[in-house]
Amino acid sequence: MFKMESMAQRLLQARKGANFGSATKAAESLGVPASTYRAHENGQNEFSADEAKQYARKFGVEPGWLYFGGDALEVTDPTLTDAASIISTISSINGAEGIPDGTIPEVDVKGGLGGGGVTIIQQTNSNGMTFAAEAVRDHWRLPDWMLTSMNASNTVVAAFPVQGDSMMPTIEDGDVVFVDTSHRIPSPDGLYALLDDYGGITVKRLTLTSPPGAEIKTFDISSDNPEHSVQQRNEDEVHIIGRYLRRFTR
């Protein structure tokens, strides 16, 4: 059985469990480019089975757990698993597998806007995101003109219900937000759905604060409600689900 967490999150957990204080230090010890490792840990790029073995040896975990989650299994050929039978995929390459044609999945995790929720993301890569099928509670069907106005395809869009007041008045408590899961590089500045420190989903405003050409990029994570404080994070501490597109409000 798969745990409801992404391979990027498992990599982050393994790195911290091995007492590497940053992604950059782990990359140096592994002998891999820091940008490559950071892209694996923040979910921008998916890592291979061979890379899972390399990371697992360094961090002292089972490669099967790192790659697949759930029980610790030895990685042989990841294409021989039955993963496709228990997940729903949103990907610009594979399309929306396990999801009715022309629809957008609504994922049964509330966008925390300050807390809560459980992680239901299985894997991420540059083309989209994979969710546990049991976490998809419903589906939306949007007209083509609306998707065109979002400059997005239904195969990479996901919907998340949200709660809390941190993004008021831009996003209200109870809104459903639509997110482009293929857009996980925080450029340009703007609203993004993020994984929070508790594995929930939150919508925040990201602003790049590091100077051009800086090796380590830093961001301000802010709320539109001025009663909530601004947080500062390094790039490897920001886990982006996708860029905010639209909201459905009551």
* Domains of the chain from N-terminus onward: 7-80 (1.10.260.40), 83-248 (2.10.109.10)
Average pLDDT estimate for 31-42? 91
By residue count, the chain amounts to 250
User: How high is the pLDDT of residue 184?
Assistant: 86
Tens digit of each residue's pLDDT (9 = 90 or more) over 199-239: 678 899 999 999 988 888 999 999 999 999 999 999 888 88
CA distance 168 to 147: 25
Token couple for 44:
């921008």
Answer with the residue of higher pLDDT: 211 or 50: 211
Q: How far is CA 28 from the centre of its chain?
A: 24
User: How high is the pLDDT of residue 53?
Assistant: 83
User: How high is the pLDDT of residue 162?
Assistant: 85
**Burial (CB count within 10 angstroms: exposed 0-12, middle 13-18, buried 19+), residue 19:** exposed
User: How high is the pLDDT of residue 133?
Assistant: 58
Q: How far is CA 119 from the centre of its chain?
A: 9
pLDDT, averaged across the chain: 77
Choose among 166, 162, 191: nearest CA to 174: 162
User: How high is the pLDDT of residue 121?
Assistant: 56
| Contacts of range 98-103, beta carbons closer than 8 Å, 24 or more positions apart | 98/133, 98/136, 99/136, 99/139, 100/139, 102/141, 102/154, 103/139, 103/140, 103/141, 103/154
Q: How many CB atoms lie within 10 A of CB 93?
A: 12
Residues in contact with 114: Cβ distance below 8 Å, sequence separation at least 6, in sequence order? 164, 165, 166, 202, 228
User: How high is the pLDDT of residue 1?
Assistant: 28
CA distance 9 to 42: 8
Token couple for 171:
């996003």
Tens digit of each residue's pLDDT (9 = 90 or more) over 100-124: 767 888 876 644 444 433 345 545 5
From its phi and psi, is residue 29 left (phi > 0), alpha (psi between -120 and 50) or beta? Answer: alpha
Token couple for 3:
């745990």
User: How high is the pLDDT of residue 71?
Assistant: 46
Tell me which of 25-39, 46-60, 61-75, 174-188 is least confident: 61-75
Tens digit of each residue's pLDDT (9 = 90 or more) over 146-159: 889 999 888 888 89
